[in-house]
Amino acid sequence: MLSLKLNTLVRDLARWQTWNYALWHSLGCTILALSSVWLFGVEPSIYLAIAAACATGSLFASPAIVRSLGFDAQRCMAMTIASTLTMPAVLLVNAALFDVRQGEASLQLDMGLYLQRLVIFIVLPMLISLLSQRFVSQQLLTKALTKLQPITMLLVFFFPLGLMGAFRQTFDQSPQDAGHYLLVASWVCLTIFTASYWLYRRGGKALAMTAAITATNRNVLLTYSITGAFLGVEYLIYMGALQLPIYLLPLIVRGMNRILERRAAS
Kindly report each contact of residues 84-87 with a partner whose C-beta sits within 8 Å and lies 24 or more positions away, as own/partner.
Answer: 84/57, 84/58, 84/60, 84/118, 84/122, 84/219, 84/222, 85/22, 85/57, 85/118, 86/19, 86/22, 86/23, 86/25, 86/26, 86/57, 87/26, 87/55, 87/56, 87/57, 87/114, 87/222, 87/223
Helices (H) and strands (E) in the chain, counts: 15, 0
pLDDT tens column, 176-219: 999 999 999 999 999 999 999 999 999 988 899 999 999 999 99
Cβ-based neighbours of 221, under 8 Å, separated by 6 or more: 163, 239
Instruction: Assess contact for 53 and 238: CB atoms under 8 A.
Output: yes
pLDDT at 55: 93
Regions of the chain where pLDDT drops below 50: 100-102
pTM metric for this prediction: 0.87
Q: Give pLDDT, residue 105.
A: 55
pLDDT at 266: 67
Residue 151: the pLDDT is 77
